[in-house]
Amino acid sequence: MMLAEKYLRDAMMPHMWCPGCGHGIILQAVIRAIDKAGLEHDKTVIVSGIGCSSRASGYMNFDTLHTTHGRALPFASGIKMANPDLNVIVLTGDGDALAIGGNHFIHACRRNIDITTVIFNNSIYGMTSGQYSPMTPVGQFATTSPYGNIDRNFDVCELAKSAGATYVARSTAYHAPSMPDLIVKAINNKGFSVVEAVGQCPTYYGRRNKLGSPVDMLNWQKEHAVNVAAAAHLTPEQLADKLIIGELHNSSAPEFTEKYDQLVARLQGRE
């Protein structure tokens, strides 16, 4: 991939992800989006938490911050508050963003702070060898659900929308060719943007759930994805095991750093 030279840290490659892992496909889509959006290296900061997915920041040739588990958004919020001119992009896993980091996630949505968050959703904790996450679908197997998961999983897109995020979209690793455009729109949204990128962990999730090879897992994504326009004509029953992909929510609301600047200006008597 030609863009790799421009955007990846060559010395860090090849990356640590397993053969056929979806994280590399999603990271490539992020890079294509950054390129399409024309973001400047010096004006862009990549922040991640902990997990296989969160290792993504280390491969990117930008100012990057690999933080603590679940805390990418608080660090990212600090960066954005200190210098609102920066483009801040958070790369996080379903466990990182929604288990240990779930509270930070809903409050970042609520504040509508201008950060773009890409959730690498592989339905599992990959790095720690396959515990269920809040995104593991009901009935699926993990080391911590050997008899099938009885917890209901989040729909992170619905969660983000209800909590106040102003741009929400979903794509899959199979749909890599159309994913960058959704990320570009997320980046351009002045507010908190969430892109759920459904991917695959063949090593822990795929193997334990007998989902076959990485190619089979990508085909599963293809077969279970329904575009948002087509989904409007289907019943909830028909959509029960489907992934609705595309732009799911796009609205506007006051952005946090702007409100904060206005507050400071008011208190200093500048307005």
Ligand X SMILES: Cc1ncc(C[n+]2csc(CCOP(=O)(O)OP(=O)(O)O)c2C)c(N)n1
Site of interaction with other proteins (CB under 8 A):
1-4, 8, 13-15, 17-25, 28-29, 32, 173-174, 176-177, 213-215, 218
**Angle of helix 214-224 versus helix 22-37 axis, rounded to 10:** 60
Q: Which of 28, 44, 64, 122 is in the footprint of ligand X by CB under 6 A?
A: 122
Of 32-40, 102-110, 183-191, 195-203, which segment contacts ligand SF4 by CB under 6 A?
195-203
| Encoded amino acid at 239, one letter | L
Closest separation between CB of residue 33 and other proteins, Å? 12
If binding is defined by CB under 6 A, does position 92 make contact with ligand SF4? no
Q: Which of 51, 180, 191, 214 is in the footprint of ligand X by CB under 6 A?
A: 51
With 0-12 / 13-18 / 19 or more C-beta atoms within 10 angstroms meaning exposed / middle / buried, residue 73 is: buried
Closest separation between CB of residue 56 and other proteins, Å? 12
Residue 203 binds which entry of ligand SF4, other proteins, ligand X, none, CB below 5-8 Å type-dependent? ligand SF4
Neighbours of 147 (CB within 10 A): 7
Neighbours of 162 (CB within 10 A): 14
Closest separation between CB of residue 204 and ligand SF4, Å? 5
If binding is defined by CB under 6 A, does position 95 make contact with ligand X? yes
| Encoded amino acid at 13, one letter | M
If binding is defined by CB under 6 A, does position 53 make contact with ligand X? yes
Q: Which of 48, 117, 133, 257 is in the footprint of ligand X by CB under 6 A?
A: 133
Q: Which of 18, 81, 211, 231 is in the footprint of ligand SF4 by CB under 6 A?
A: 18
Residues 6+ apart with CB under 8 A from 202: 18, 19, 20, 21, 211, 213, 214, 217
If binding is defined by CB under 6 A, does position 172 make contact with ligand SF4? no
Q: Which of 122, 145, 166, 172 is in the footprint of ligand SF4 by CB under 6 A?
A: 122
If binding is defined by CB under 6 A, does position 200 make contact with ligand X? no
Residue 134 binds which entry of ligand SF4, other proteins, ligand X, none, CB below 5-8 Å type-dependent? none
| Encoded amino acid at 230, one letter | A
Closest CA to 245 of 181, 192, 191: 181
The answer to whether 46 and 63 are in contact (CB under 8 A) is: yes
Closest CA to 196 of 80, 68, 74, 109: 109
